[in-house]
């Protein structure tokens, strides 16, 4: 053989199979310096029949190249020469002497060797040769030996991070900065107040033991440190349980406009705003709310890019924030969409609106729609001063203490889909809004904590809604199957969560015939 085939390998796969696998490397016939071809064949163990083969050359996939033939010839040669036998079947070759006539190695003889006699003890002799290990770089004044304590041990430990071997031989001394203080030896006494958490409205109402409104508000008071701490702990907003708890009973910026509008001369009108503030309604899962939460991160990134391009400012960032409780009126709170950091403009707020119904409209067309928060004034688009969004932005600045807010409206139209407006803080607007929010909190929220009348109304309406839906399904089933009209129907009770009969036990308009609570 020419030696073009090497690295022959055999794999029997399994004793239960009648096929085996043989592979090898084949050096190209002409370009011998290139990478060898990888060739393999599948053979029948008993008949030796070639079942399939493949090679990495250009025609190897057809199993007809000469490299496959060469691999088969190499297998035949290896079997004939006995190269396929295992190492334990061969004669041992170690420990055998060299063949006759062949020297192990060429002998080398030393010539002209001159032996110098030793005149004295070599251990006592000194050499005049200078070695690198004996070099002393210090000046003569510093070459005298010094004890370990003469070195700056603290600096040595600091430089080596405590890993210097010399520190092991230094006597450890107590560090005065890490010793247990002597509580009996003091210079002065001072009172330290531990920062307490911000109370919820319900906790403050219970702590005041049914006192006046001013007592409840006094229990809700907080400082700037507590305000920042709560805002950082509630950054996840709707996903935070703490955020939800502190919103119950507090007038948030999103409903402040409606709450102020419900104040009439003869008192509060309606109870829907009280139910919203108290959190009686379930968390909404409307398409508009889902759309707004999904598009908010995209709108925030688009705003940062717009801010840098419009104002030519660098280093502009926008970070998420949580619930900010008003320090002056702790029954008012706000959750802005972000805090804008700018080296030139200073810090401000960001409020993002992603309309769902008119999401495909351009900004100009959106401003003409009914109920739009934008209007055209003197040829410029701006937020309506009578819209609840304007009240929301002003209350957010009032709660957080920032002086401006960038109000963003974004659609998904192909053109003209972004509107940004900077709104400044209006002290006169807040001065006129503040008394209305106080009346709403005292006459609406605190009264509700004592009576829970609005909660009963909301619960009764939800129960009636469930019963109406059940009755509708029963009527539909009776129409489709008249034989089922005599079946006794059961209804869920909103008070005891038990099943109720279809026939009321008491002659009352509001009775649902409950077996347990007799309602």
Give the tens place of pLDDT for each residue, 141-166: 777 777 776 777 888 888 888 888 87
Which of 192-196, 324-328, 432-436, 440-444 is predicted with the least confidence, judged by mean pLDDT? 192-196
Question: In whole angstroms, what is the distance from residue 62 CA to residue 79 CA?
Answer: 27
Q: Per CATH, the architecture of 287-425 is what?
A: Alpha-Beta Complex (3.90)
275 contacts: CB under 8 Å, gap ≥ 6 = 281, 454, 455, 458
153 contacts: CB under 8 Å, gap ≥ 6 = 166, 167, 170
Residue 239 has pLDDT above 80, yes or no: yes
Which pair of tokens denotes residue 170?
Answer: 């230094």
Q: Which residue has the higher pLDDT, 46 or 468?
A: 46
Mean pLDDT, residues 287-296:
89
- The mean pLDDT value of the chain amounts to 83
pLDDT-based confidence at residue 473 (cuts at 50, 70, 90)? confident
- The residues spanned by each domain of the chain are 5-83, 287-425
pLDDT-based confidence at residue 179 (cuts at 50, 70, 90)? low
Residue with tokens 């007592």: 215
- Longest Cα–Cα distance of the chain, Å, equals 138
Mean pLDDT, residues 125-130:
70
pLDDT-based confidence at residue 400 (cuts at 50, 70, 90)? very high
SS (HEC) of 29-97: CCCCCCCCEEEEEEEECCCCCEEEEEECCCCHHHCCCHHHHHHHHHHHHHHHCCCCCCHHHCCCCCCCC
Please choose, from the candidates 243, 246, 254, the residue with its C-alpha nearest in 3D space to the C-alpha of residue 276.
Answer: 254
263 contacts: CB under 8 Å, gap ≥ 6 = 436, 439, 440
- Residue 485 has φ and ψ, to the nearest 5°, of -70, -20
**pLDDT at res. 508:** 45
CA dihedral 203, 206, 212, 215 (to 10 degrees): -50
Tens-place pLDDT, residues 68-94: 888 888 888 888 877 767 667 667 767
12: left (phi over 0), alpha (psi -120 to 50) or beta: alpha
Q: At what angle do helices 427-440 and 253-261 cross, to 10 degrees?
A: 70
Q: At what angle do helices 427-440 and 388-400 cross, to 10 degrees?
A: 90
Which pair of tokens denotes residue 273?
Answer: 């705003």
404 contacts: CB under 8 Å, gap ≥ 6 = 345, 346, 348, 349, 397, 422, 423, 424, 425
CA distances from 256 to 212, 259, 408 (A): 23, 5, 20
Residue 120 has pLDDT above 70, yes or no: no
DSSP characters over 354-371: --STTTTS-HHHHHTSTT
């Amino acid at each position: 053989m020419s030696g073009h085939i090497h690295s022959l390998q055999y794999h029997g796969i399994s004793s239960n199979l009648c096929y085996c696998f043989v592979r090898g490397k084949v050096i190209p016939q002409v370009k011998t310096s290139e990478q060898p071809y990888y060739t393999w064949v599948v053979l029948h163990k008993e008949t030796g029949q070639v079942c399939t083969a493949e090679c990495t050359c250009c025609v190897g996939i057809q199993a007809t190249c000469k490299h496959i033939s060469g691999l088969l010839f190499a297998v035949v040669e290896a079997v004939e020469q006995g190269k396929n036998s295992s190492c334990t079947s061969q004669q041992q070759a170690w420990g055998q002497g060299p063949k006759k006539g062949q020297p192990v190695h060429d002998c080398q003889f030393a010539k002209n060797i001159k032996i110098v006699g030793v005149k004295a003890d070599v251990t006592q002799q000194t050499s005049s040769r200078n070695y690198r290990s004996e070099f002393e770089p210090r000046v003569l004044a510093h070459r005298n030996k010094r004890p370990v304590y003469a070195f700056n041990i603290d600096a040595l430990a600091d430089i080596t991070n405590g890993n210097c071997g010399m520190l092991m031989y230094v006597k450890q001394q107590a560090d005065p900065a890490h010793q247990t203080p002597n509580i009996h030896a003091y210079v002065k006494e001072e009172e330290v107040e531990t920062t307490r958490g911000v109370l919820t409205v319900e906790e403050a109402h219970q702590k005041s033991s049914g006192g006046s409104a001013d007592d409840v508000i006094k229990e809700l008071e907080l400082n700037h440190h507590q305000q920042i701490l709560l805002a950082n702990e509630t950054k996840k907003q709707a996903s935070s349980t703490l955020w939800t708890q502190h919103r119950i009973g507090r007038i948030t910026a999103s409903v402040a406009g409606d709450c102020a509008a419900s104040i009439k001369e003869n008192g509060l009108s309606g109870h829907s705003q009280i139910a919203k503030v108290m959190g009686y309604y379930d968390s909404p899962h409307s398409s508009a709310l889902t759309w707004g939460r999904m598009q908010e991160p995209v709108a925030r990134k688009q705003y940062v890019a717009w801010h840098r391009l419009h104002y030519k400012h660098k280093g502009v960032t926008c970070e998420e924030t949580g619930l900010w409780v008003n320090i002056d009126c702790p029954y008012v709170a706000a959750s802005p969409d972000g805090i804008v950091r700018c080296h030139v403009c200073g810090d401000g707020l960001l409020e993002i609106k992603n309309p769902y119904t008119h999401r495909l409209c351009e900004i100009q067309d959106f401003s003409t729609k009914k109920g739009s928060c934008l209007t055209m004034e003197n040829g410029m688009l701006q937020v309506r001063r009578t819209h609840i969004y304007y009240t929301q932005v002003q209350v957010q600045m009032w709660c957080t203490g920032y002086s401006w807010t960038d109000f963003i409206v974004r659609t998904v139209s192909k053109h003209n889909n972004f509107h940004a407006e900077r709104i400044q803080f209006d002290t006169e607007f807040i001065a006129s809004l503040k008394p209305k929010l106080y009346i709403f909190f005292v006459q609406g929220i605190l009264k509700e904590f004592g009576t829970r009348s609005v909660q009963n109304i909301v619960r009764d309406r939800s129960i009636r809604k469930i019963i109406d839906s059940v009755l509708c399904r029963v009527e539909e089933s009776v129409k489709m199957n008249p034989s089922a009209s005599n079946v006794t129907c059961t209804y869920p009770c909103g008070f005891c969560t038990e099943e109720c009969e279809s026939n009321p036990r008491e002659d009352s308009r509001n009775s649902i015939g409950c077996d347990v609570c007799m309602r």
